[in-house]
Structure 1
Amino acid sequence: MKVPEFISKNLLLKMTSVNGVVISIRLIISVFVQRLLAEIVGEAGIYKIGQLRSLSQILSSITSLGVFNGVVKYVAEYKDEKPQLQKLFSTTLVFTIFGTVVTGALLFFGADFLSTYLFGSSDFTFVVKLVAVVVPFISIQRVFNGVINGLSNYKKFATVELISYILSACLLVYLLYQNNITGALMAIALTPVIQVVVMLFLIFKILKEYVQFKKLTFSTPLGKSLLAFTLMSFVSTVLLNYIEIDIRNMLANSLSEDDAGIWTGMTFISKNYMVFSGAMFTLYVIPKFASINSKSGFLKELLSIYKTLLPLFGIGMILIFIFRDFVIELIYPGFTEMAPLFKWQLLGDFVRLGALVLIHQFLAKKLVRNFIFTEIVSLALFYGFANYLVIDYGVEGVVMAHFIRYILLFFIVLFLVFRYYNNLKKS
């Protein structure tokens, strides 16, 4: 089938169409898997799964010392400069070895404590130890993913994502039936192994073109440059997921594990459609913004991205809101308390998309202080409003906090981005 001309001439729309197919297939599989989980493990089980997924996100950052966005940026810049790439990957090797060893040891020997903290019981110590063993695969997957994103090879990225997701879903369903919630958690823990195997099978030839594995040295020539991304990743990924874990614990302790599961289910639906935007940021927005050095050029590209993405997301979110009861019954049958959460979550996510496009300017230009400031402000607003509003509004207070946070954040980020270009013009 021939791609329409208005799509073929717009790289962002081409990526959107390819990722749209992948996301659609993922959503179909996800609906089936999440429904099974809801029926077998219930709200309390969904809460535990949310805790492990948040831990996995934290590990995706700290096991590689947060070099993902740095790899994306420098591969995009140096893809034709082999010596620079060699410096990049030698530094990345040192970072990942250090992050993997330290993280793996802490997880393994602190498994009992982490099981109690995350799941309210030491019954899942084995799962945490399994995660510790899988840690090397988490860091390898993250680095390889950065290479593919930096090359903007969106077709290969989409293929890897889809096959990995299908295989991971099959494993989850099998272990769920075998061992209930413990099996589901084991499958999530083993997902990075599947992702690395699929990557090596599908993209190893591409990796060898840019990564000369035999010539890697145990040195850090780009250490200072990548440490900036380490700091940014710590704030954006580690602190974010830690706060999500803490809010689930707060809901479980002040309300119930079922209430924590309701909010987790809502965030899972949100993350499913926001995954699509995440791919756009790393494959398109960061490399594009990195190459723009004028306010007029930035404004032109920003408006182009907004005109492409916001209407698509807006229509999708309106449809989700209209059919929210159907969505709940389809994915989480019986989770009726989730219905009032949709309006706040969807409004917050729409504003969030606009803010995230702007925030990725900080990553593209390595504006570390601006990025860290906005992330800390964002997390502080969310945490503060969530704890305050949950007293009067229960679970709904958390998604209200989500909306308020991004309204305020959008204007803060907008001010900082335009201040950057105004200062650039003056200098």
Structure 2
Amino acid sequence: MNLVRTSLLNGIAVLIKMLTLLGLNKVLAVYVGPAGYAAIGQFQNALQVITVFTGGAISNGVVKYTAEYHDRLDRQIRLWRTASFCAILGSLIVAVIVAIYNKELGVLFLKSDELGGVFIWFASGVVFFSLNILLLAILNGKKAIILYVVANISGSVFAFFVTFYLAVSYGLFGALVSLAIYQSISFFVTLFLCLRTDWFKISYLFGWPDLGVARKLFSFFMMAVVSAACVPTAQILVRNHIGVTYGWEVAGYWEAMWRLSAAYLMLVTTTLGVYYLPKLSELITAREVKHEVMQGYKFIFPVALLAGAAMYLLRDLVVAVLFSADFYPVRMFFAGQIVGDGLKIFSWILAYVMLSQAMVKLFITTEIIFCGSLYVLTLLFSRWWGVEAVTWAYAFNYALYCVVMYACVYRRLDGHFDAKSGIAG
């Protein structure tokens, strides 16, 4: 597997997913409006927080160790059984809690206990939701790129039709239900694809967990818990600040910009997850890692810059085609968001090194600091320069993150690998 081939194959899935997301943007813009967009963003952030306790938190660990144990099927099976046990147990616990407190969650995240029913829908399928994430992680770690691409395409197409039908038929509630259930149903497609391989059997997912493996996965659980707590929380705080200070329609404009950003960067961000994480996990010297990082800056970073430039130049057309006339004010967020996106990708190339090498303390520390600083900078920038400066706060935050990633990850790689090998403390 090489970077160019993986990017091209992954690009097929990303193109289809991007088209479905952009199509959904149009559907949601028409049927739920700017204020509904803000509610959808809140619900997605809520799911990010909740699913970290269902087994989704260890998916990066499954990718890393599946790739690292590429020549040891017995160790992979122990890994998968342990991960599956954790996912099922965590999902059952979460399902019960979410079902009991669905109205309270509706008030907390959606400002309405009448929308609490969407959490019941999520709880009913959360086990399959978690197992789907696990199977996708296994395919990624095994570098079964074609199957991984097919699974993602199936999920994207299914999500589009389900969301389209439910949003058109039931408005905001239907759109939220679709977000709650589509990955759970996608599990059956992903399982079918895995069973078609000669290296996977469904029995590999069931058995007593390995405590040694569980300890390794726990490091990734801790990183994911912090990330899942901090990132969505920061977004919720920023969205609430915009909504309370400038109105919830403006918060909807910001949410629309955030979703556009995620859509056009999808090729880059998924390539980092699909190629970089398993690849970096296999490497055993600092020189190999640095070479792979440079490859990322030669290939991945320019793609992000070109995509951002195209989005900015075509911003009027993008807003007109993908949204409705009500969303025209989204234009004010483009410049800062696109600069921030470029800085994000620049820093993430190094951040994936931190993740692949399980630099747990550094990851947790930087995640807490920079999620907190995003909110603080948003308050300051918006107070000084108005709501248009919210995305410039995001850009400035990632500029600082770039500096920290270079100083704490890239410059210290030699010492990290020496410590792993026992050469240095």
Question: Does TM, normalized by the shorter one, top 0.5?
Answer: yes
> Which one of 167, 171, 177 corresponds to residue 162 of structure 2?
171
Residue 113 of structure 2 is matched in structure 1 by 122
Native 8 Å contact 2:135 2:191 kept in 1: no
Residues 330 and 215 of structure 1: CA distance in aligned 2, closer, same or farther (over 3 Å): closer
Q: CA deviation at 1:31?
A: 2.4
**Counterparts of 1:49 and 1:124, CA distance in 2:** 11
Letter in 2 for 1:231: M
Native 8 Å contact 1:65 1:95 kept in 2: no
Query: Is residue 2:366 matched to residue 1:377?
Result: no
Residue 365 of structure 1 is matched in structure 2 by 357
Residue 366 of structure 1 aligns to a residue in which SS? coil
Residue 402 of structure 2 is matched in structure 1 by 410
Residue 206 of structure 1 aligns to a residue in which SS? coil
**Counterparts of 1:215 and 1:48, CA distance in 2:** 38
Query: Is residue 2:322 matched to residue 1:347?
Result: no
**Counterparts of 2:228 and 2:76, CA distance in 1:** 25
Residue 82 of structure 2 is matched in structure 1 by 91
> Which one of 174, 191, 204 corresponds to residue 183 of structure 1?
174
Native 8 Å contact 1:131 1:190 kept in 2: yes
**Counterparts of 1:76 and 1:413, CA distance in 2:** 24
Q: CA deviation at 1:215?
A: 5.8
**Counterparts of 2:251 and 2:148, CA distance in 1:** 33
How many residues end up aligned between the 2 structures?
418
Native 8 Å contact 1:86 1:212 kept in 2: no
Query: Is residue 2:225 matched to residue 1:196?
Result: no
Q: CA deviation at 1:311?
A: 1.5
> Which one of 321, 343, 346 corresponds to residue 312 of structure 2?
321
> Which one of 157, 160, 185 corresponds to residue 148 of structure 2?
157
Query: Is residue 2:183 matched to residue 1:222?
Result: no
Q: CA deviation at 1:142?
A: 1.3
After TM superposition, the structure 1 = structure 2 runs for residues 216-295 of structure 1, keeping only pairs within 5 Å, are 216-295=207-286
**Counterparts of 2:376 and 2:72, CA distance in 1:** 46
Q: CA deviation at 1:219?
A: 4.8
User: Taking every aligned residue pair, what percent have the same amino acid on both sides?
Assistant: 23
Using structure 2 for the length normalisation, give the TM-score: 0.93
Residue 27 of structure 2 is matched in structure 1 by 36
Residue 292 of structure 2 is matched in structure 1 by 301
Residue 209 of structure 1 aligns to a residue in which SS? coil
Deviation sequence 1:82-115 (CA, Å, 0-9, x none):
3212321232133213321221122111111111
Bigger shift: residues 76-85 or 258-267? 76-85
Residues 206 and 57 of structure 1: CA distance in aligned 2, closer, same or farther (over 3 Å): farther
Deviation sequence 1:143-185 (CA, Å, 0-9, x none):
1111011012222111111111111111111111211111111
Residues 295 and 77 of structure 1: CA distance in aligned 2, closer, same or farther (over 3 Å): closer
Deviation sequence 1:265-293 (CA, Å, 0-9, x none):
01100111232223212221122222333
**Counterparts of 2:26 and 2:205, CA distance in 1:** 46
**Counterparts of 2:23 and 2:39, CA distance in 1:** 19
Query: Is residue 2:40 matched to residue 1:49?
Result: yes
Using structure 1 for the length normalisation, give the TM-score: 0.92
Q: Which runs of 4+ in 1 moved over 4 A?
A: none
Residues 214 and 88 of structure 1: CA distance in aligned 2, closer, same or farther (over 3 Å): closer
Q: CA deviation at 1:211?
A: 6.0
Q: CA deviation at 1:371?
A: 1.2
Residue 140 of structure 1 aligns to a residue in which SS? helix
Residue 388 of structure 1 is matched in structure 2 by 380
Native 8 Å contact 1:137 1:196 kept in 2: yes
Residues 106 and 396 of structure 1: CA distance in aligned 2, closer, same or farther (over 3 Å): farther
Bigger shift: residues 131-140 or 249-258? 249-258
Native 8 Å contact 2:38 2:255 kept in 1: yes
Gap regions ≥5 residues in structure 1: 1-9
Native 8 Å contact 1:88 1:221 kept in 2: no
Residue 66 of structure 1 aligns to a residue in which SS? helix
Residues 120 and 393 of structure 1: CA distance in aligned 2, closer, same or farther (over 3 Å): farther
**Counterparts of 1:215 and 1:96, CA distance in 2:** 11
Bigger shift: residues 258-267 or 23-32? 23-32
Q: CA deviation at 1:389?
A: 2.1
Letter in 1 for 2:395: F
Deviation sequence 1:170-208 (CA, Å, 0-9, x none):
111111121111111111111112321221222223386
Deviation sequence 1:315-373 (CA, Å, 0-9, x none):
11111100001101111222121112111111111111011110111111111111112
Native 8 Å contact 1:90 1:216 kept in 2: yes
Letter in 1 for 2:354: F
- CA-based RMSD of the aligned residues comes to 2.0
**Counterparts of 1:98 and 1:317, CA distance in 2:** 42
